[in-house]
């Protein structure tokens, strides 16, 4: 156990946007810490901008000129007098060079060291760590040779289906499933391009694609002294194109024994590299066996469900750890109840999920006990096409999984968002599906049952009546709702970049 | 949130309604609907707008975003299903394909260009086969 130096943090610069920037600001407010928002030109009319104590525009909307630009973030933070930088998730949060640059500039990076990120965050080198611990890995290829023909031959060796992934980041970007030799070259090419665009590195690796696996991840935390503990598991099997849509804690699929084995494995892996702060170890669980997938060396989008079942505040823990404070309680954490999170995306579920941008109209979240909403936009703010389409997270907690599902269904129905289309109708269908309710869903669940667009129902008599009566009041007469088009213009033609 | 009330078939219902531009947004009985006021009467036009992609005359942008790849050249003959343009928006890459066998007449955008919803991207020459487009 290292001797821990206490550090003073009076001002934190937030190198992120949207709902996570709001989340970090709230934690800072509660700790009496000043906040500086490092934002792009497209994020001025946002909740985080209004809440921050100071704001610094670090560039135009495109991410490589703003949120992905290390120099601009550093200059912005230093110029505003920040003692520390919180990178949120995505963007530069798993960029080892950024972590190093923050420290070199005399500030504290709220996250692990560049060295830990290199060892664990790189999706390839972390496998070496896992191998050294004799823990189970998904079979694959992680070599330096990146020549496409060679990768295709490696894929053949592993045996199709094979998944190709970006070494430098996650979130579904730069990921493709190869099912045969014929399509493999084009898909690998595409994955390398997407990886370069999303993370600044075209390096990819290959893994055997487990086609009826559950995605189970463990929240780990390393305190200022280097001690590592886990805060249980989450299941994130509801994914579309490897992008999570719904997450929950704890997983309905783990028994006590598996939870203990996997939790211990997660702690062992992270303990090997001198880690600090929050991280997540991801596994695939298939036929009762678990396989290490990757480590995310950052706070994750779905962290709220862990907070809801364990009673912790992970962001405050991150900040206090960066200040050298102890954060682990004397008694072990316990799981209480069940929590589910739905990601609200600005997209039209009746047109195959095509992105929806525009000015937000009335927005309303039905507050209540065991209901939590993380959102970055309010009425009159604009959802732009420059960033991913998640506009809010809708989280519930209840005493059992069944009650949590029931509560979520109610909360989704009572959530109002005008001005942009959102995926709420799709979310409701998903959590009402038998396979979700009985917890048997695998990562194939979404593609199997929801690959076709939802069909827009015709207006009901009540809806028509209300619209007509509003028009009599002097609002514009409503036109025919276009029922003729239930096309899915995406038809498998879209993928994450 | 301030709800309005209305009586319909003997019962009172709470709802929220807002007009934004040419759309009316309504939330009642746990569902949100958006009605495009411009759609009144012209189903042909609205089909083209909401479908937004390929028709007999060309390809329009189905969403606002950026053109990232132009995969064809002027005067190139393409078959149905050929990838013509790749767009990006909200971190998703979308490949626009020709819906008929045709010839590229004009490429109206360049790589890197930001486009708006419905903007014409590529024009086709008169199609080789005249298709009977039923616009429902």
User: From its phi and psi, is residue A367 left (phi > 0), alpha (psi between -120 and 50) or beta?
Assistant: beta
In chain A, % of residues over pLDDT 70: 94
Q: Give the pLDDT score at B41.
A: 40
Residue A160: CB atoms within 10 Å:
15
Q: Give the pLDDT score at A380.
A: 96
Cβ distance of A355 and B92 shorter than 8 Å: yes
Q: Give the pLDDT score at B54.
A: 56
Cβ distance of B46 and A476 shorter than 8 Å: no
For residue A424, is pLDDT > 50? Answer: yes
R_g (Cα) of chain A, nearest Å: 23
Q: For residues A36 and B44, give the distance between their C-alpha atoms in angstroms, rounded to a whole number.
A: 50
Q: Which has more confidence, A497 or A54?
A: A54
**Nearest chain A CA: its distance from B131 CA (Å):** 18
Set of chain B residues whose Cβ sits within 8 Å of the Cβ of A64? none
Question: Is B20's Cβ below 8 Å from some Cβ in A?
Answer: yes
Q: Give the pLDDT score at A125.
A: 82
For residue A223, is pLDDT > 60? Answer: yes
Cβ distance of A485 and B51 shorter than 8 Å: yes
Q: For residues B61 and B109, give the distance between their C-alpha atoms in angstroms, rounded to a whole number.
A: 11
Q: Which residues of chain B have pLDDT under 70?
A: 38-56, 126-136
Question: What is the chain A residue with the closest CA to B24?
Answer: A478
- What separation, in Å, do the N-terminal and C-terminal C-alpha atoms of chain A show? 42
Mean pLDDT in residue range A41-61: 97
Q: Report the SS3 class of residue B127.
A: coil
Question: Is B89's Cβ below 8 Å from some Cβ in A?
Answer: yes
Question: Is A387's Cβ below 8 Å from some Cβ in B?
Answer: yes
Q: Give the pLDDT score at A279.
A: 97
Are the beta carbons of B109 and B59 closer than 8 angstroms?
A: no
Q: Which tens digit of pLDDT belongs to each residue from A432-458?
A: 999 999 999 999 999 999 988 899 999
What is the separation of C-alpha A38 from the centre of its chain, rounded to a whole number of angstroms? 20
Q: Give the pLDDT score at A491.
A: 44
Interface test with A, best of B13, B48, B50, B55 (most A CBs within 10 A): B50
List the catalytic residue out of A23, A118, A276, A298.
A298
Interface of A with B in 21-40 (CB under 8 A): none
**What value does the mean pLDDT of chain A take?**
92
Q: Give the pLDDT score at A229.
A: 98
ipTM of the complex: 0.84
In chain A, % of residues over pLDDT 90: 80
Q: Give the pLDDT score at B97.
A: 85
Q: What confidence tier does A316 reach under pLDDT thresholds 50, 70, 90?
A: very high
Set of chain B residues whose Cβ sits within 8 Å of the Cβ of A411? none
Question: Is B101's Cβ below 8 Å from some Cβ in A?
Answer: no
**Where are the strands (E) in A139-288, listed by range?**
140-141, 162-166, 176-178, 204-208, 214-222, 228-240, 243-249, 277-286
Q: Give the pLDDT score at A456.
A: 94
Q: Which tens digit of pLDDT belongs to each residue from A163-196?
A: 999 887 776 777 899 999 998 998 998 889 888 8
Cβ distance of B18 and A362 shorter than 8 Å: yes
Q: Which tokens belong to A283?
A: 């596994």
Q: Global pTM? A: 0.86
Mean pLDDT in residue range A96-123: 94
**Nearest chain B CA: its distance from A157 CA (Å):** 30
Q: Which tens digit of pLDDT belongs to each residue from A116-163?
A: 999 997 777 888 899 999 999 988 998 889 999 999 999 999 999 999
Residue B103: CB atoms within 10 Å:
16
Q: Which tens digit of pLDDT belongs to each residue from A295-315?
A: 999 999 999 999 999 999 999
Set of chain B residues whose Cβ sits within 8 Å of the Cβ of A359? 20
Interface of A with B in 420-459 (CB under 8 A): 421-422, 424-425, 459
Q: Is A372 a catalytic residue?
A: no
């Amino acid at each position: 156990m290292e001797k821990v130096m206490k550090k003073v943090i009076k001002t934190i610069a937030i190198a992120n946007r949207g709902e996570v920037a709001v989340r970090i600001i709230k934690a800072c407010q509660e700790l009496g810490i000043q906040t500086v928002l490092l934002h792009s030109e497209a994020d001025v009319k946002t909740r985080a901008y209004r809440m921050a104590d100071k704001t610094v525009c670090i560039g135009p909307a495109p991410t490589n000129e703003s949120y992905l630009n290390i120099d601009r973030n550093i200059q912005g933070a230093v110029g505003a007098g920040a003692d520390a930088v919180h990178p949120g998730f995505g963007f530069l949060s798993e960029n080892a060079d950024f972590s190093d640059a923050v420290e070199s500039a005399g500030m504290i990076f709220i996250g692990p060291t560049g060295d830990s990120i290199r060892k664990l965050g790189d999706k390839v080198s972390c496998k070496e760590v896992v191998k050294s611990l004799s823990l189970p890995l998904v079979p694959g290829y992680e070599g330096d040779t990146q020549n496409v023909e060679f990768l295709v031959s490696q894929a053949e060796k592993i045996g199709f289906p094979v998944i190709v992934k970006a070494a430098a980041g996650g979130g579904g970007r730069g990921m493709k499933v190869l099912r045969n030799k014929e399509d493999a070259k084009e898909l690998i090419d595409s994955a390398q391009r997407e990886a370069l665009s999303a993370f600044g590195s075209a390096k990819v690796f290959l893994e055997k694609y487990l086609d009826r696996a559950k995605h189970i991840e463990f929240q780990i935390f390393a305190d200022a002294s280097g001690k590592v503990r886990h805060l249980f598991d989450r299941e994130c099997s509801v994914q579309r194109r490897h992008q999570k849509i719904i997450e929950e804690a704890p997983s309905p699929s783990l028994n006590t024994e598996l939870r203990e084995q996997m939790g211990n494995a997660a702690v062992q892996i992270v303990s090997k590299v001198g880690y600090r702060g929050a991280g997540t170890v991801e596994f695939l669980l298939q036929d009762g066996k678990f396989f290490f997938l990757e480590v995310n060396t950052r706070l994750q989008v779905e962290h709220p469900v862990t907070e809801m079942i364990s009673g912790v505040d992970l962001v405050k823990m991150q900040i206090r750890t960066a200040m050298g404070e102890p954060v682990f309680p004397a008694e072990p954490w316990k799981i209480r109840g069940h929590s589910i999170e739905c990601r609200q995306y600005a997209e039209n579920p009746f047109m195959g999920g095509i992105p929806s941008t525009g000015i937000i109209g009335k927005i309303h979240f039905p507050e209540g006990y065991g209901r939590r909403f993380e959102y970055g936009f309010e009425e009159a703010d604009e959802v732009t096409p420059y960033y991913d389409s998640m506009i809010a997270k809708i989280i519930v907690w209840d005493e059992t999984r069944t009650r949590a599902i029931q509560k979520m269904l109610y909360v989704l129905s009572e959530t109002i968002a005008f001005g942009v289309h959102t995926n709420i109708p799709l979310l409701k269908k998903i959590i009402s599906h038998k396979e979700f309710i009985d917890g048997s869903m695998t990562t194939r669940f979404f593609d199997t049952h929801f690959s076709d667009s939802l069909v827009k129902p015709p207006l009901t008599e009540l809806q028509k009546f209300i619209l007509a009566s509003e028009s009599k009041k002097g609002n514009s007469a409503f036109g025919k709702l276009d029922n003729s088009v239930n096309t899915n213009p995406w038809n498998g033609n879209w993928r994450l970049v | 949130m301030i709800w309005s009330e209305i009586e319909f078939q003997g019962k009172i219902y709470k709802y929220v309604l807002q007009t934004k531009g040419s759309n009316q947004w309504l939330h009642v009985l746990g569902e949100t609907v958006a009605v495009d006021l411009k759609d009144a009467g012209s189903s042909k036009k609205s089909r083209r707008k909401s479908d937004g992609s390929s028709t007999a005359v060309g390809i329009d942008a189905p969403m606002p975003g950026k053109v990232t790849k132009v995969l064809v050249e002027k005067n190139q003959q393409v078959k149905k299903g050929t990838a013509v343009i790749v767009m990006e928006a909200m971190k998703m890459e979308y490949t626009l394909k020709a819906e008929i066998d045709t010839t590229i007449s004009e490429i109206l955008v360049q790589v890197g260009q930001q486009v708006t919803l419905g903007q014409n991207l590529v024009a086709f020459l008169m199609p080789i086969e005249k298709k009977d487009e039923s616009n429902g």
